[in-house]
């Protein structure tokens, strides 16, 4: 495929709709984490009830007076309005870039389908297949008893692949009265681009919840849009599973952040639990790698539990939400054994079982508690491995063994010449994170506040953890009083969760470049929290010995506004230039090949070749395939190895 520049027909005018108005003063979130045992946690000494947006406490982080109700409503409305504007901006930007990159509106149907490269074409083919079916029932039956995707095999696509989103969209398109003015392909891509808007809103709300200021949400949205190269690739990989699932993961993180806030009412807690379940379910349903992402998240919850940042109820609830989401997907995917054999389920079962059996884990002195935690972690690890091994043996599960082969080969823990592992290792996306990524992030002023925030919060988390582990859980009043004397560091559990989230997924992104899209979006929210929150500025102003209320409020609002102004001045022309660059899709050879296959070969003809090409053949011609890019099946991996070996031998013989 070649992207050729085309003549610019008219001057396009764009308006991102970003407002740079300073936020109205309001209640601050009692974000201050430094305090003493005999004083309030915030330097302003104000605590109170929590609100879902805007932080906890009856005063702002800068210590201003209580708001009148109408001012709270105005601030809330302004924050939500800006969230919507930024979300629409992101959706509009990726749609404009997709159109300008391919001149999609002027392409023929076969050219549009060819533009869905590799596995994207395979997934989109099932959306097309459902629309071409005589009825919804027959379309579902064809997916459940499919004999076109893999020759000489009948497979259940709803069990094997995460394509419920294609099924849902095809049914929705049939039911809605939009067929006369909206083509099916546009309904599909507009839905995916709309999820980008949902993604921005989720990150915006997370930053707002953490900092107590919607100005942090604005900065998050601006950073996400400007760092589009590193935050998303949706404009040229529309059907990729991660483009469907990551917005729901971001919403889940937002719900967890809200759930971990202090002093929520019983009703608010129930709403958050249901939101966590729904978002976890949608995330798991739309991506086959959900179990590995949830495993990282379960490790985060386990770490917070060991450090005593979460209550027993919170820990159990978070684990059960993950289990419920996975089991719901297991049922919808016709009891997919890969889910039951996942490491995350084994880990959660092991944690909850040992946690129930082992009493007195959080008692004793610092050294005693550290010893207990080491023993506890060793027992959890051994029981997890045992449960997972026995489960896979009982289910005869080998669908995900290629992923563990890839991990072993990548870190030199196993054979490096394994065929399945080599297929991943030869791809740039599965290599280490390139250093030029950090250069781009630094160019938009994202990296510097992120690193500062990370260092500050990590130090505070370490100190708070040591103090929690050193503080006896039982004892006399004198012991508890003695343990509370001196300087005490309190750390909000919602901040602790987000800190570990960005640390864990940051390490994952550095190890595998493809995983950076999970990290960079959340990175924007954490950096914005650092700029608009209270911790960083309190430390700086205290160090400079000039922490007055007026100066604190001025710096906290002026710096992010100045950053937004700088980003607008520097990157607005570049964004306009990028959006005005017009190219066109040009791939006559592939178009000719697909046309020949459609007109000159039998409809039941079977094709073998590279996985990338075969996905396009499935979409454009509907012919039967030998293999395809969805690699989560042992028999398919063996067939792919044999097919590629045969093709290489044939090519070698032909060259001789």
* The 3-state secondary structure of 7-27, one letter per residue: CCCCCCCCCCCCCCCCCCCCC
Distances (CA, A) of 510 to 175, 507, 513, 625: 44, 5, 6, 36
Q: Give phi and psi for 279, each to the nearest 5.
A: -70, -35
- Residue 2 scores a pLDDT above 50: yes
- How much is the average pLDDT of 278-305? 96
- Residue 142 scores a pLDDT above 80: yes
* Structure confidence by residue, pLDDT tens digits, 24-62: 333 333 344 444 333 333 333 333 344 456 544 333 333
Q: Are strands 34-36 and 487-489 parallel, antiparallel or unpaired?
A: antiparallel
- Residue 181 scores a pLDDT above 70: yes
Question: Which pLDDT belongs to residue 6?
Answer: 59
- Residue 14 scores a pLDDT above 60: no
Question: Which pLDDT belongs to residue 3?
Answer: 65
Question: Which pLDDT belongs to residue 462?
Answer: 94
293-307, 349-363, 557-571, range with the lowest pLDDT: 349-363
- How much is the average pLDDT of 649-656? 66
Residue 175's beta-bridge partner residues?
A: none
Question: Which pLDDT belongs to residue 156?
Answer: 96
Give CA–CA dist 161/124, Å, rounded. 12
Give CA–CA dist 449/17, Å, rounded. 25
Give CA–CA dist 377/312, Å, rounded. 17
Contacts of residues 591-596 at CB distance under 8 Å and 24 or more positions apart, as own/partner, are 591/108, 591/110, 591/111, 591/114, 594/110, 594/113, 594/114, 594/620, 594/621, 595/110
Question: Which pLDDT belongs to residue 131?
Answer: 97
Asked if 530 and 499 touch (Cβ cutoff 8 Å), the reply is: no
Question: Which pLDDT belongs to residue 488?
Answer: 59
* Structure confidence by residue, pLDDT tens digits, 319-365: 999 999 999 999 999 999 999 999 999 999 999 999 888 777 778 78
Whole-structure pTM value: 0.88
| All residues at 6 or more sequence positions from 52 whose CB lies less than 8 Å from its CB, including other chains | 209, 258, 261, 268
Question: Which pLDDT belongs to residue 489?
Answer: 65
Question: Which pLDDT belongs to residue 524?
Answer: 97
- Residue 423 scores a pLDDT above 80: no
Give CA–CA dist 552/549, Å, rounded. 5
Question: Which pLDDT belongs to residue 541?
Answer: 84
Q: Give phi and psi for 489, each to the nearest 5.
A: -105, 120
Average pLDDT value for the chain: 85
- Residue 479 scores a pLDDT above 50: no
Question: Which pLDDT belongs to residue 158?
Answer: 96
Question: Which pLDDT belongs to residue 217?
Answer: 96
- Residue 115 scores a pLDDT above 90: yes
296-300, 388-392, 411-415, range with the lowest pLDDT: 411-415
Asked if 369 and 402 touch (Cβ cutoff 8 Å), the reply is: no
Higher model confidence: residue 656 or residue 307?
307
- Residue 534 scores a pLDDT above 90: no
- How much is the average pLDDT of 477-495? 62
- How much is the average pLDDT of 227-242? 94
Question: Which pLDDT belongs to residue 410?
Answer: 76
- Residue 398 scores a pLDDT above 50: yes
- Residue 413 scores a pLDDT above 80: no
pLDDT above 70 as % of the chain: 85
């Amino acid at each position: 495929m070649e992207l050729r520049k085309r003549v610019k027909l008219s001057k396009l005018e764009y308006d991102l709709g970003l407002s740079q108005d300073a936020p109205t003063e309001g209640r601050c979130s009692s974000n201050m984490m430094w305090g003493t045992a005999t004083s309030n946690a915030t330097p302003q000494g104000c605590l109170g009830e929590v609100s879902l947006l805007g932080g906890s406490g009856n005063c702002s982080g800068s210590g201003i007076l209580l708001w009148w109700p109408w001012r709270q409503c105005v601030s809330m409305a302004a924050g939500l309005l800006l969230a919507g504007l930024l979300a629409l901006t992101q959706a509009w930007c990726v749609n404009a870039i997709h159109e300008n990159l391919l001149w999609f509106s002027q392409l023929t149907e076969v050219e549009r389908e060819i533009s869905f490269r590799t596995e994207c074409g395979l997934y989109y083919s099932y959306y097309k297949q459902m629309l071409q079916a005589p009825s919804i029932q027959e379309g579902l039956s064809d997916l459940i008893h499919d004999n076109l995707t893999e020759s000489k095999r009948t497979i259940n696509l709803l069990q094997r692949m995460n394509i419920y989103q294609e099924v849902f969209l095809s049914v929705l398109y049939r039911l809605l009265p939009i067929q006369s003015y909206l083509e099916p392909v546009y309904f599909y891509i507009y839905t995916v681009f709309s999820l980008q808007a949902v993604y921005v809103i989720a990150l915006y709300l997370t930053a707002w919840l953490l900092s107590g200021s919607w100005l942090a949400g604005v900065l998050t949205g601006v950073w996400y849009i400007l760092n589009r190269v590193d935050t998303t690739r949706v404009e040229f990989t529309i059907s990729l599973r991660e483009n469907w699932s990551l917005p729901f993961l971001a919403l889940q993180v937002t719900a967890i952040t809200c759930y971990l806030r202090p002093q929520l009412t019983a009703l608010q807690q129930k709403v958050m639990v249901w939101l966590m379940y729904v978002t976890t379910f949608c995330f798991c349903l739309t991506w086959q790698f959900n179990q590995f992402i949830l495993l990282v998240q379960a490790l985060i919850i386990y770490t917070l539990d060991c450090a005593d940042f979460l209550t027993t109820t919170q820990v159990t609830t978070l684990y059960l939400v993950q289990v419920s989401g996975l089991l719901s997907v297991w049922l919808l995917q016709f009891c997919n054994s890969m889910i039951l054999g996942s490491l995350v389920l084994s880990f959660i079962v092991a944690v909850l079982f040992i946690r129930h059996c082992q009493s007195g884990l959080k008692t004793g002195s610092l050294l005693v508690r550290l010893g207990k935690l080491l023993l506890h972690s060793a027992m959890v690890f051994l029981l997890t491995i045992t449960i997972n091994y026995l489960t896979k043996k009982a289910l005869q599960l080998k669908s995900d063994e290629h992923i563990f082969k890839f991990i072993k080969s990548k870190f030199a823990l196993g054979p490096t010449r394994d065929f399945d592992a080599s297929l991943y290792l030869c791809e740039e996306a599965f290599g280490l994170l390139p250093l030029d990524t950090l250069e781009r992030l630094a160019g938009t002023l994202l990296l510097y506040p992120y690193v500062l925030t990370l260092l500050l919060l990590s130090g505070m988390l370490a100190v708070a953890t040591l103090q929690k582990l050193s503080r006896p859980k039982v004892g006399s009043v004198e012991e508890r009083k003695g343990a509370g004397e001196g300087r005490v560091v309190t750390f909000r559990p919602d901040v602790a969760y987000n800190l570990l989230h960005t640390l864990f997924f940051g390490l994952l992104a550095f190890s595998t470049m493809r995983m950076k899209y999970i990290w960079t979006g959340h990175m924007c929210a954490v950096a914005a929290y650092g700029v608009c929150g209270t911790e960083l500025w309190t430390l700086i102003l205290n160090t400079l010995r000039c922490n007055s209320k007026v100066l604190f409020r001025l710096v906290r609002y002026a710096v992010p506004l100045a950053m937004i102004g700088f980003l607008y001045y520097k990157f607005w022309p570049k964004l306009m230039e990028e959006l005005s660059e017009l190219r066109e899709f040009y791939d006559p050879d592939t178009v000719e090949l697909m046309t020949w296959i459609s007109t000159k070969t039998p409809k039941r003809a079977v094709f073998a070749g590279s996985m990338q090409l075969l996905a396009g053949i499935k979409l454009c011609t509907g012919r039967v395939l030998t293999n395809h890019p969805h690699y989560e099946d042992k028999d398919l991996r063996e067939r792919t190895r044999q097919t590629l070996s045969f093709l290489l031998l044939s090519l070698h013989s032909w060259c001789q």
